[in-house]
Structure 1
């Protein structure tokens, strides 16, 4: 299989089962991408996967809901097989669980179908720089929470601890809930405070609520 060379210009794979929508989106992309870019449109994951074996794509842009297609599985496959490829999901599905699932599978960004060409260009620029991107109409507490979880250095256990503490549980109670000793919870708390550069329990609780973590 050919691997993506990470260049900003090149071939773009566009996956959408609505032909008219896809063709219109293709024209939009050609107006914002470098002149030498090529956009190939596919209506199924099967055909897209076969093309990936033959062509060197820099970017994949896909809808999330394509009848009969496992888009999340495709995203995970592409992330594992083509390490440097940029994967953007542009969909009318905008719930937090779907966004998190796509980012966890390996997507670099998630945009709603309500965005304009400027936002798509911004998304391409940001993801080319190695950043995660969520469109502005999904920003606020939802996007802050998703991006925090994606980019945080906290472990899964530390995330459990921070949520329980912010919910008002004392150290002893948190230890009982997680079946560990209070000393272990205190150690987790110290690590959390250090990683997030926080200095008090009040700051910790404020941080959790500001980032919509519970």
Structure 2
């Protein structure tokens, strides 16, 4: 029997180890790699091309939403299942739009996660029951048409820079992480402030927290 190859991405080692042990008790599941941040998750997903990438939404360096966007753009055959403690409507909408095939809450029963991985592998969309209710309520509230969000005017690189700024990295450190020049980082920072009508680092950090780009 061919096993379902899984990439597990979560920045909490104890939780990651527990999920790995749970999954590897199943004869048809195999964890082929682990990542503790979003950038590593993208690199491993495209390098190994697992069948399913199980990704935490809140990770350092690159959050689960941006990691999903990059995985679906760079290695679209990899199917993404989001594992999160948040039942936030905005989170859910954005990750589904980014290409994730499922969204499961971390307090779900073990069997729910295992079945979700199998379903996503088969090409089926999967949501925790509580998430399904929120998605329906969100659709009924907006009728499928939502007000414009400033997030939509940011480029992928600007969103990456915003997260790293909010996580406390200096311009030089951000340049090293993204392999770009310090001047380019400064240009992205200026563009962020202009597009979002923000005026200093503190306001950028506050915006990132409000939009759940980072957690505190």
TM-score by length of 1: 0.59
Residues 1:80 and 2:70 are matched in the alignment: no
17, 39, 51: which one pairs with 1:23? 17
Residues 1:43 and 2:36 are matched in the alignment: yes
Give the Å deviation of 1:34.
Answer: 0.7
Partner of 1:54: 47
CA distance in 1, matches of 2:49, 2:63: 22
Residues 1:144 and 2:136 are matched in the alignment: yes
Partner of 1:32: 26
CA distance in 1, matches of 2:18, 2:95: 24
Measured at CA, do residues 144 and 43 of structure 1 come closer, stay the same or move farther in structure 2, by a change above 3 Å?
same
101, 107, 117: which one pairs with 2:94? 101
Give the Å deviation of 1:82.
Answer: 2.1
Residue-pair matches, total: 144
Give the Å deviation of 1:114.
Answer: 0.6
Residues 1:69 and 2:55 are matched in the alignment: no
Indicate the structure (1 or 2) with the bigger Cα radius of gyration: 1
CA distance in 2, matches of 1:90, 1:8: 24
Residues 1:91 and 2:84 are matched in the alignment: yes
CA distance in 2, matches of 1:10, 1:130: 13
Displaced runs of 4+ in structure 1, greater than 4 A? none
6, 11, 15: which one pairs with 2:5? 11
Stretches of structure 1 that go unaligned for 5 or more consecutive residues are: 1-6, 150-155, 161-214
Residues 1:126 and 2:105 are matched in the alignment: no
Measured at CA, do residues 20 and 130 of structure 1 come closer, stay the same or move farther in structure 2, by a change above 3 Å?
same
Stretches of structure 2 that go unaligned for 5 or more consecutive residues are: 146-216
Q: Deviations over 1:116-167 (max 9, x none)?
A: 1211122123323322211123333x13356x79xxxxxx9x845xxxxxxx
Give the Å deviation of 1:29.
Answer: 1.2
RMSD of aligned residue pairs (Cα, Å): 2.7
Measured at CA, do residues 8 and 115 of structure 1 come closer, stay the same or move farther in structure 2, by a change above 3 Å?
farther
Q: Deviations over 1:29-74 (max 9, x none)?
A: 1123516x23421102222233234323111001101133232121
Measured at CA, do residues 64 and 73 of structure 1 come closer, stay the same or move farther in structure 2, by a change above 3 Å?
same
